[in-house]
């Protein structure tokens, strides 16, 4: 585990020690140092190098076909995805804050990128990606990386499932062997379009797709150590070579000779148009939000698998620079590929150098297999994408969410449906609002206010019979009406009212206002009020709001 620097060294006299400032500076340098430097600066051995080399080779065999399929699902040629992996993957490994990230095009981005390109063209997508990269860098500098922990799991599971279903439906036409002049954008319109064109199915293409899907599923289930994706890719190339592409659409017939296209380094002219950037801002925000979320989720997953600890803010900066580099080299959005990142940990990757080896071998694959890439059947890639998207949806592993409390089920299903019907940003926003309201509801349900009469022997009450209210739970704006109703329901026939707050861990300004107004109200009726059982946190909150002074003489440390 990494060394945690102490930035709060204090001497016995209460002043900062001489080396406290040094500790703070070291901590800041550590926080903003790329992980590749920290991981290799000390104790990087030949054994680690060989482990990284082996991991890079094994991961690249899986990542190479996957990144091509994600590119096609995004509406661009496969070479664009490979270039994205090479540029963004290298920059993320060199400048990021996590050890095991494998970065490239992912299924999470596929539908967003496809929609942006259809609406604004590739140049518009590039402008949005440049803005998104800048946003991610600013998010990292602003140190908001740790906010990932505040996104409820039903939301992340919901939008991931929604994206998976969207990819399945988007690739279903290719899987069925349908050649359509235009595919609708809307989720349900796509399904209707496919059903209406079933009579035009290409059974050569459909048969190859079914064979590829069944083979891939069988390998992944019974021989998961074998490179199933690469095997399906090679068999697809073999079909094209043996049968001369009879009856199937290939990468070459759809995209041309992708291997011969070199990347171009340019900034779109429309990037300097404020009105154009304003139109593209929602798309840029969607890319930045999803890229940040996916990269940090991947870092958390790899932390859990490896026992290491990433630095969220440095990782966001690295991912932002990686996406800027991808945009300037004609690429598409990139983020952590969760499956290949997990594989990198499992096969023994030790440092970000494993990610660099992955990039190197993917580049070699493209250079050496370039002449074969153009004869890869689209149906084989569609089968890979369907299998990946189904696993991405995760309905099997997330089925326990449907057995969870109703609030979690509502958030999960709502996020899935809104992702399908609108877009991921709206889905996450609605999911967060729903989660907040449902959390407030649950918190209110756990707050109680019990009323009774009892003789109180505290110093203030002096053995008199009092009307008592015992409050348990957080007193915040959602539960404040409960306290108000309990206080109003008191008969107020005694000279003293005692409010026991022994079991109140927190009070906000709304709850404090209820107490203050109640005290003022009953004082007019010559009834004395004592508030007891206050813990340090509650008392501190009342003092900070200056309400403790207004309630001076009514606050007691005694309990019922």
Residues 105, 67 contacting (CB under 8 angstroms): yes
Residues 498 and 378 in one domain: no
Residues 154 and 227 in one domain: yes
| pLDDT more than 70, % of the chain | 91
| pLDDT more than 90, % of the chain | 31
Other residues' Cβ atoms within 10 Å of the Cβ of residue 277: 16
Alpha carbon distance 384, 230 (integer Å)? 10
Residues 533 and 519 in one domain: yes
Q: What is the pLDDT, as a whole number, of residue 402?
A: 83
Residues 294 and 180 in one domain: yes
DSSP string, 119-155: HHHHHHHHHHHHHHHHHHHHHHHTT-GGGGGGS-HHH
Maximal C-alpha separation, the chain: 100
Residues 529 and 417 in one domain: no
Residues 316, 290 contacting (CB under 8 angstroms): no
Task: Write out pLDDT tens, residues 488-508.
Answer: 888 888 888 889 999 999 899
Q: What is the pLDDT, as a whole number, of residue 458?
A: 66
In this predicted structure, the answer to whether residue 457 has a pLDDT above a threshold of 70 is: no
In a domain, 416, yes or no: yes
- Which of 386, 421, 437 is at the close of a domain? 386
In a domain, 36, yes or no: no
More confident residue, 208 or 151: 208
Q: What is the pLDDT, as a whole number, of residue 460?
A: 61
In this predicted structure, the answer to whether residue 19 has a pLDDT above a threshold of 70 is: no
Residue 104: strand pairing partners: 335
- Which of 363, 386, 409 is at the close of a domain? 386
Residues 121 and 108 in one domain: yes
Residues 313 and 452 in one domain: no
Task: Write out pLDDT tens, residues 262-283.
Answer: 556 566 666 667 788 888 998 8
Alpha carbon distance 346, 414 (integer Å)? 34
In this predicted structure, the answer to whether residue 167 has a pLDDT above a threshold of 90 is: no
The radius of gyration computed from the CA coordinates of the chain, to the nearest angstrom, equals 30
Alpha carbon distance 131, 192 (integer Å)? 36
In a domain, 7, yes or no: no
In this predicted structure, the answer to whether residue 560 has a pLDDT above a threshold of 50 is: no
In a domain, 269, yes or no: yes
Q: In what order do the strands lie in the sheet with 448-456?
A: 448-456, 464-472, 496-503, 528-532
How confident is the prediction for the chain on average, in pLDDT? 85
Task: Write out pLDDT tens, residues 86-132.
Answer: 999 999 999 999 999 999 998 888 888 988 898 888 889 999 999 99
Report strand pairing: 335-336 vs 448-456: unpaired
In a domain, 41, yes or no: no
Residues 406 and 295 in one domain: no
Task: Write out pLDDT tens, residues 200-230.
Answer: 888 899 999 999 999 999 999 999 888 899 9
Report strand pairing: 496-503 vs 464-472: parallel
Residues 174, 383 contacting (CB under 8 angstroms): no
In a domain, 381, yes or no: yes
In a domain, 559, yes or no: no
Residues 59 and 151 in one domain: yes
Residues 250 and 273 in one domain: yes
In a domain, 546, yes or no: yes
> Which has the minimum average pLDDT: 22-26, 34-38, 485-489?
22-26
Count: domains in the chain: 3
φ/ψ (deg, to 5) at 376: -70, 125
Alpha carbon distance 383, 251 (integer Å)? 14
Q: What is the pLDDT, as a whole number, of residue 86?
A: 94
Report strand pairing: 103-104 vs 335-336: antiparallel
Residues 122, 277 contacting (CB under 8 angstroms): no
Alpha carbon distance 329, 393 (integer Å)? 31
Residues 464 and 434 in one domain: no
Question: Domain span at residue 481?
Answer: 446-550
Q: What is the pLDDT, as a whole number, of residue 463?
A: 72
Residues 361 and 412 in one domain: no
- The whole-model pTM stands at 0.76
Residues 336, 294 contacting (CB under 8 angstroms): yes
Task: Write out pLDDT tens, residues 296-330.
Answer: 888 988 888 888 888 999 999 999 999 999 999 98
Residues 217, 390 contacting (CB under 8 angstroms): no
Which band of pLDDT confidence, cut at 50, 70 and 90, is reported for residue 557?
A: low
């Amino acid at each position: 585990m990494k060394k945690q620097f102490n930035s709060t060294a204090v001497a016995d006299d209460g002043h900062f020690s001489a080396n406290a400032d040094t500790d703070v500076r070291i901590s800041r340098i550590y926080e903003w140092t790329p992980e590749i430097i920290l991981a290799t600066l000390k104790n990087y051995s030949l054994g680690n190098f060989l482990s990284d080399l082996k991991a890079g080779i094994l991961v690249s065999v899986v990542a190479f076909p996957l990144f091509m399929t994600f590119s096609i699902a995004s509406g661009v040629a496969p070479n664009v995805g490979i270039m994205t992996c090479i540029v963004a993957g290298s920059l993320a490994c060199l400048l990021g804050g996590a050890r095991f990230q494998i970065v490239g095009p992912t299924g999470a981005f596929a539908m967003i990128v496809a929609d942006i390109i259809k609406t604004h063209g590739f140049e518009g997508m590039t402008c949005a990606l440049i803005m998104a990269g800048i946003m991610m860098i600013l998010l990292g500098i602003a140190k908001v990386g740790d906010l990932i922990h505040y996104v409820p799991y039903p939301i992340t599971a919901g939008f991931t499932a929604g994206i998976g279903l969207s990819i399945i439906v988007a690739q279903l036409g290719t899987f069925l062997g349908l050649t359509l002049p235009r595919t609708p954008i809307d989720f349900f319109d796509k399904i209707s379009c496919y059903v209406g064109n079933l009579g035009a199915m290409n059974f050569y293409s459909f048969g190859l797709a079914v064979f590829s899907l069944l083979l891939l599923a069988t390998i992944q289930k019974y021989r998961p150590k074998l490179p199933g994706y690469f095997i399906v890719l090679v068999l697809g190339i073999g079909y094209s070579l043996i049968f001369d592409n009879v009856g199937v659409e290939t990468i070459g017939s759809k995209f041309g000779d992708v291997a011969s296209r070199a990347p171009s380094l340019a900034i779109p002219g429309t990037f300097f148009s404020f009105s154009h950037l304003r139109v593209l801002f929602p798309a840029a925000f969607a890319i930045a939000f999803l890229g940040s979320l996916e990269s940090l989720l991947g870092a958390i997953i790899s932390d859990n698998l490896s026992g290491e600890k990433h630095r969220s803010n440095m990782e966001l900066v690295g991912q932002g620079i990686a996406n800027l580099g991808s945009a300037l080299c004609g690429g598409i959005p990139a983020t952590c590929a969760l499956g290949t990142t997990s594989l990198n940990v499992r096969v023994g990757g030790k440092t970000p150098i494993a990610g660099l080896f992955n990039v190197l071998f993917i580049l070699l694959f493209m250079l050496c297999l370039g002449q074969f890439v153009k004869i890869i059947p689209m149906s084989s890639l569609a089968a890979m994408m369907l299998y990946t998207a189904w696993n991405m949806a995760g309905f099997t592993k997330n089925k326990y969410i449907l057995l969870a409390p109703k609030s979690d089920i509502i958030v999960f299903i709502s996020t899935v449906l809104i992702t399908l019907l609108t877009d991921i940003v709206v889905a996450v926003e609605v999911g967060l609002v729903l989660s907040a309201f449902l959390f407030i509801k649950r918190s209110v349900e756990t707050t109680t206010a019990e009323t009774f009469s009892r003789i109180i022997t505290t110093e203030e009450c002096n053995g008199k019979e009092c009307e008592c209210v015992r409050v348990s739970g957080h007193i915040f704006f959602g539960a404040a009406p409960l306290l108000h109703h309990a206080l109003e329901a008191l008969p107020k026939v005694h000279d003293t009212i005692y409010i026991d707050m022994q079991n109140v861990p927190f009070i906000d300004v709304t709850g404090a206002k209820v107490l203050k107004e109640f005290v003022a109200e009953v004082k007019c009726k010559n009834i004395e009020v004592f508030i007891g059982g206050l813990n340090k946190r509650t008392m501190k909150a009342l003092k900070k709001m200056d309400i403790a002074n207004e309630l001076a003489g009514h606050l007691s440390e005694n309990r019922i």
